[in-house]
Amino acid sequence: DTEVTQTPKHLVMGMTNKKSLKCEQHMGHRAMYWYKQKAKKPPELMFVYSYEKLSINESVPSRFSPECPNSSLLNLHLHALQPEDSALYLCASSQERTEAFFGQGTRLTVV
Amino acid sequence: EDQVTQSPEALRLQEGESSSLNCSYTVSGLRGLFWYRQDPGKGPEFLFTLYSAGEEKEKERLKATLTKKESFLHITAPKPEDSATYLCAASGSARQLTFGSGTQLTVLP
C-alpha cells in the first residue's frame, strides 16, 4: 500500500475562517511533508516533519500552522488566509533516502 | 544551492512517436533522482528512483536513465493516456526534494 490520503479534496474558505487539512499514511514512513502548488508550477516545500518533530519550516507565514499528532497523521491548520493562498496543497511521506509518495491534494480556494 | 532544470517545457508527440525528456541537475551529494507523473488537479504519482550514474529503470513505455549531470525519461511509442506533466526531483545532502519545473507532454491520437 503506497497510499497517502488527504481530506478534504476541495475547500472553499473565507478570509476570516479557520479550517484544517488532514493527511494520513500507513506505510510506516517517518518523514511527512506539506507542499503548496500553484497552477503550472512545481510543488513548493512548506514544512517537513521527521519522527513527529518539525525539522524544516520554509519561512511559511504563521497563518499556516502544521501539526503532527502521531507518526501516521499530519494536519495543516489554516487561519486568516489571503486569496493568494489559493492553491493545491499536497501532503507526502517518505523513508530516509527513498522516494516520497504524494496524496491527491486539497484544492483550496480563499474568497 | 541545488538546482534542477527540465527541458523542454512542453512537448507534443503523435501517438507512437518516441522521444526523451531531459532533467539536468546540480545537487550537492545526490541521494536520489526521482521521476513523477502529474495529471491536472492531482498529486504527483511516483514513477522511478535512480541513485547512481549508469542506473536505468523501466516501466511499460517509460525508461529512466541517469548520468552524473542529467537524467532522461525515454518514452517509447507513447499513447494518448501518457499525456501528463512529468516532474523530475533530486534529493541532496540537504535531504529536501528540489523539483524541476516539469515537462508538459501531450500525445495526439
A and B: number of Cβ contacts within 8 A: 47
Contact flag B43-A98 (C-beta cutoff 8 Å): no
Does the pLDDT value for residue B93 go beyond 90?
no
In Å, how far is A104's CA from the nearest CA of chain B?
4
Query: Which residue of A6, A42, A101 is in closest CB contact with B46?
Result: A101
What does the pLDDT read at residue A98? 82
Tens of pLDDT, residue by residue over A34-76, are 999 999 999 999 999 999 999 888 889 999 999 999 999 999 9
Number of neighbouring beta carbons within 10 Å of residue A95: 13
Name which of B31, B57, B35, B59 is nearest B45 in CA terms.
B35
| Three cell numbers, residue A6 | 488527504
What does the pLDDT read at residue A97? 67
Sign of the C-alpha dihedral computed for residues A44, A52, A109 and A59 taken in this order: negative
Tens of pLDDT, residue by residue over A79-104, are 999 999 999 999 999 987 689 999 99
Which residues in chain B touch residue A4, judged by CB atoms under 8 angstroms apart? 43
What does the pLDDT read at residue B12? 98
Contact flag B36-A2 (C-beta cutoff 8 Å): no
3-class state of residue B3 by DSSP: strand
Contacts of B74 (CB under 8 A, 6+ apart): B18, B19, B20, B62, B63, B64, B65
What is the per-residue burial (b if ≥16 Cβ within 10 Å, else e) of B27-61?
A: beebbbbbbbbbeeeebbbbbbbbeeeeeeeeeee
Query: Which residue of A48, A56, A102 is in closest CB contact with B44?
Result: A102
Share of chain B above pLDDT 90, in %: 89
Q: Is B24 on the interface with A (CB under 8 A)?
A: no
Q: pLDDT averaged over chain B?
A: 95
Expressed in angstroms, the distance from the first to the final Cα of chain A is 36
Name which of A107, A104, A78 is nearest A2 in CA terms.
A104
d(Cα A100, Cα A94) in Å, to the nearest integer? 5
Query: Which residue of A42, A100, A107 is in closest CB contact with B41?
Result: A107
Does the pLDDT value for residue B95 go beyond 80?
no
In Å, how far is A81's CA from the nearest CA of chain B?
21
Query: Which residue of B34, B42, B100 is in closest CB contact with A105?
Result: B42
